[in-house]
Amino acid sequence: MTIVLVHGVPVTSAVWTPLLTELAESGHDDVALLSPPGFGAPLPPDFGATIDDYRNWLVEELSRFDAPVDLVGQSMGGGHVLEVAMTRPDLVRSWVSDVIGGFEPDYSWHPVARTWQTPGEGERSLEELFAGDTADRAARMVDWGIPEPVAGEVALAQGPDMARAILALYRSAAPPTLSERGRDLPSAAARPGLVPIPTEDLTVGSVASRHRAADRAGARAVELDGIGHWWMLEDPVRAARVLAEFWSGLQRGFPAPIDDHGRDPR
C-alpha cells in the first residue's frame, strides 16, 4: 500500500526525511511525497492557493494512483488531508492528520497565523521571515524548531512564491471558515483515521479539543507526550512506530491497539 505524505507551512518535503528512514526500517518504503504548489513545488500564476484550490490539487494528485493510499498530512498539509477525507474518501484507505482541532467551533488561530491573515501585517511578516540569504532563513527555521540540515533544505525554497501561497491560504481559512467546514468531520469516518496529538503543540487547539474532533471524525487519537508541532522531526522513531502500528492494524482488519501515549500495550 502506498503511503502519501503532505507537508505544511512554511516548509518543503525535506521535513519528512528523518521519518522516511524510520519508516523504511519498519518495512514501509512505498512512500510518495506530495509538495503543495508554492511549498517546494512550482506555484502556477493562475493557482489561487486557497483551501479549495489545495483540496482540488490533492484530489487530482491522488487520482493518479492505481489504488487508495494511506494519506498523512502535517500542519496545513493535515488540513488538506482532512478536506479530502471529508469529500473524497474513495481516494484513501486511511488518513492521518494532526490539525483536526482547528475544525472545532472554539478554535482560535495562533498569533503568527492571525498576523498572516491581516492585510499589510502579513506581507511585512513574511518579508522579514524570508529575508536574507539561505543561511539567514535557515537560522530562523532553527528558531522555529526545525533542526539542521532540514532547516537549510527548507530555506532554499522560501521566497516570494511561498509568501504569496501562505497569505492566500491562511486568509481563505480565516474564521469562521474552518469551524463551518468542521460540521462535516463525521464524513471523515468513512475511512479509518489517526490523529497524532503532540502535547506541546500550541498551534492547533487544546489536547481536549483535538480529542473531541477526533471522536467526531471517528478517528483514533494518540498523544505524543513532550513533543511539539514538528513531531516527525523531534521524535521520528516514535512517529514511525505510531504510524506503522496504525497501518498494521488496518491490514489485520481492525485498529491497532495503540494506547493514548503512542505505545502498543500488547
Res. 255: pLDDT tops 60: no
CATH for 3-112+183-252, options being 3.40.50.1820, 3.40.1160.10, 3.60.110.10, 3.40.50.150: 3.40.50.1820
Res. 21: pLDDT tops 70: yes
Find the mean pLDDT for residues 77-86: 98
Res. 261: pLDDT tops 70: no
pLDDT band at 251 (very low <50, low <70, confident <90, very high): confident
Q: What is the Cα–Cα distance from 131 to 120, expressed in whole angstroms?
A: 16
Res. 195: pLDDT tops 90: yes
- CB 69 within 8 Å of CB 95: no
Question: What confidence score (pLDDT) does residue 156 get?
Answer: 98
170 contact partners, CB below 8 Å, separation of at least 6: 9, 113, 116, 117, 122
- CB 13 within 8 Å of CB 33: yes
248 contact partners, CB below 8 Å, separation of at least 6: 256
Kindly compute the dihedral angle of the four CA atoms of residues 258, 59, 107, 217, in this order, to the nearest 10 degrees.
-40
pLDDT band at 264 (very low <50, low <70, confident <90, very high): very low
Q: What is the Cα–Cα distance from 134 to 76, expressed in whole angstroms?
A: 23
3-state secondary structure of 225: coil
Q: What is the pTM of this model?
A: 0.94
Q: What is the mean pLDDT of the chain?
A: 94
- CB 189 within 8 Å of CB 219: yes
3-state secondary structure of 73: strand
Give the residue among 110, 87, 81 at the shortest CA–CA distance from 3. Answer: 81
Q: What is the Cα–Cα distance from 210 to 196, expressed in whole angstroms?
A: 9
C-alpha cell at 242: 505510531
Question: What confidence score (pLDDT) does residue 253 get?
Answer: 65
Res. 160: pLDDT tops 60: yes
57 contact partners, CB below 8 Å, separation of at least 6: 36, 37, 47, 80
Kindly compute the dihedral angle of the four CA atoms of residues 68, 73, 79, 84, in this order, to the nearest 10 degrees.
0
3-state secondary structure of 92: strand
Q: From residue 166, give the alpha-carbon distance in Å to each of 28, 89, 169, 234.
A: 31, 26, 5, 24
pLDDT band at 258 (very low <50, low <70, confident <90, very high): very low
Site of grid cell 483515521: 193
Res. 61: pLDDT tops 70: yes
Question: What confidence score (pLDDT) does residue 191 get?
Answer: 98
How many Å is the Cα radius of gyration of the chain? 17
C-alpha cell at 196: 497524532
Q: CA angle, 168 as apex, 144 and 101 as ends, to 5°?
A: 60
145 contact partners, CB below 8 Å, separation of at least 6: 228, 229, 230, 233, 234
Res. 262: pLDDT tops 70: no
pLDDT digits (tens, 9 = 90+) for 197-235: 999 999 999 999 999 999 999 999 999 999 999 999 999
Q: What residues does each domain of the chain span?
A: 3-112+183-252
Q: What is the Cα–Cα distance from 95 to 251, expressed in whole angstroms?
A: 14
Residue type (1 letter), 158: Q
